[in-house]
Each structure stands twice: as structure tokens, then as C-alpha cells.
């Protein structure tokens, strides 16, 4: 068990209940160059610091949400529900 993550609906739960889906990326809008595409598919900021990332409360309510976490300390700064289409 590692750090505790607060699900927007269920509250604080051990991180093992959640699925992690990586840092928030920007999908190219239309027919990107190969370079733009591979940058989106493979390359990551991988910051040591505050990172916006996707989580799903897989073992609980099932919601996908966004968290802002400091990757140096695993401190969760905030969680929020996604605003689709943005």
C-alpha cells in the first residue's frame, strides 16, 4: 500500500484501489506529422514536481478523474472530474 488518493466520490482510499493512466497528454487535432504523432504517443514530460494525471477508481465507484500530484513526494494537491471535450 502506498499513498492515499482521494476519489472525488468515495473519499480517501489506498492507491491500490485505483488504476493509473499516466500524465495528461494533448492529442493532435488532425492528421499530424509522424513527428507530432510519435511525440504524442511516446514522449512524456515525466516531471519531478506537479503532474496532472489520469486515475480511475477501478475497485470502487469506477470514475475516471484527474489528479494533480507532486511526483517528488506523492502528495496529492487536488483531484477533479474531467471536463469533457476540452
Partner 1 sequence: MKEIFFPKRMWRSRGELKRRYDVVIVGGGSHGLATAYYLAKEHGAKSVCILEKSYIGSGASGRNTTIVRSNYRTPEGAAFYGESVRLYERLSKELDFNLMFSQRGHLTLAHSDRALVVMQERAEVNKLLGIKSSVVGPREIAALCPELDLSDRPTWPVLGALFHPPGGIIRHDAVVWAFARAADRRGVDIHPYTEVTGFQQSNGRVTVVETNRGRIECGQVVSATAGWSTLVGDLAGVRLPITTHILQAFVTEPLKPFLDVVIVSSQLHVYVSQTDRGEFLIGAEIEPYTTYKGTGTLSFLETSARHSLELFPQLERTKLLRTWTGLCDLSPDYSPILGKTEVDNFHVSTGWGTYGFKAAPIVGVTLAELVATGKTPELIAPFALERFHTDTLVSELAAAAVSH
Partner 2 sequence: MSALYFMSPARCTPETLASPLERGLVGAPESLRDLSPDGKVELRGDLARVGLAEGDELIRLTPRRGFLLTGDPLAAIDRSRANGVLAYDMTGALGGLAFEGETLFRRLTDLDPGALPTAGGFARISAILVRDEGERFRAYFPQELGHYVVEVVLDVLAGLAGGRSHRA
Partner 3 sequence: MRLPAQPGELIDRAEPLGFRLGEYRLEGFRGDTIGSALFANGRRVFSRSFKYHRPRGLLCCSGHCPNCMMTVDGVPNVRVCVEPLREGAVVTPQNVLGRLDMDFLSVVDKFGGPFTPVGFYYRTMIRPRFMWPVYEKFLRGVAGLGRLDEHAGHSRRYDVEHRRARVLVIGGGQAGRAAALAAATAGPGVVLVDESVRLADVELPGVEVLAPARALGIWEGKLVPVDSGTVLYRYRAERIIVATGTVEQPLVFPGNDLAGVMLPEAARRLIRDFSLRPGQRAIVLAADERAPEIAETLREAGVAVPRVVDLREGARQLEAHGRRGHVRRVVVDGEETKCDLVVVSGGRQPAYSLLSQAGGRVEYDESLKVFVPRDLPAGIEAVGSVTGEGIVRAEGAAAYEGSGKCFVCICEDVTTKDVKRSIEEGFDSIELSKRYTTVTMGPCQGKLCQLPSIHLYAHELHTYEATIGTTTARPPWAPVELGLLAGRHLEPTRRTSLHFRHEELGARMMWAGPWKRPYAYGEHPEDEVRTVHESLGVIDVSTLGKLLVEGPEAAQLLERLYPNRFADLKAGRIRYGVLTSDGGRIMDDGTVARLADDLYYVTTTSTGADAVTAWFEWWNAVWGYDAEIVNVTGALAALNLAGPRSRDALQRLTEDELSADEFRYLDAKHIEVAGVPCLALRIGFVGELGYELHFPSSAAEYLWDRLLADGARPFGLEPQRILRLEKGHVIVGQDTDSESNLLSAGMPWLPKMDKDDFVGKFALEHFAERDERELLVGFTMEDDVVPAEGAQIVVEGQPAGRVTSARRSEQVGAVIGLGWLPRDRADAGTRFEVRVDRRLVGARVHHGAFFDSAGERMRS
Site for partner 3 in 18-47 (CB under 8 A): 19, 21, 27-28, 30-32, 34, 37, 40-42
Pairing of strands 19-23, 11-14: unpaired
Q: Is residue 6 at the binding interface for partner 2, with CB under 8 A as the rule?
A: no
Which of helix, strand or coil describes residue 77?
A: strand
> Any idea what DSSP says for residue 48?
S
**Cell numbers standing for residue 13:** 482510499
Q: Which of 12, 28, 44, 78 binds partner 1 (CB under 8 A)?
A: 44
Contact with partner 2 (CB under 8 A) among 53, 58, 71, 79: 58
Told to check if 74 binds partner 3 by CB under 8 A, we report yes
Shortest separation between residue 29's beta carbon and partner 2, angstroms? 29
C-alpha distance from residue 28 to each of 7, 31, 42, 54, 84 (Å): 29, 7, 13, 18, 16
From 6, 23, 32, 60, residue interacting with partner 2 (rule: CB under 8 A): 60
Amino acid at each position: 500500500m502506498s499513498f492515499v488518493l482521494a476519489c472525488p466520490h468515495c473519499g480517501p482510499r489506498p492507491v491500490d484501489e485505483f488504476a493509473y493512466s499516466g500524465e495528461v497528454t494533448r492529442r493532435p487535432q488532425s492528421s499530424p506529422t509522424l513527428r507530432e504523432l510519435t511525440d504524442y504517443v511516446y514522449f512524456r514530460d515525466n516531471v519531478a514536481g506537479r503532474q496532472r494525471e489520469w486515475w480511475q477508481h477501478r475497485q470502487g465507484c469506477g470514475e475516471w478523474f484527474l489528479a494533480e500530484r507532486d511526483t517528488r513526494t506523492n502528495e496529492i494537491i487536488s483531484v477533479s472530474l474531467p471536463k469533457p471535450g476540452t
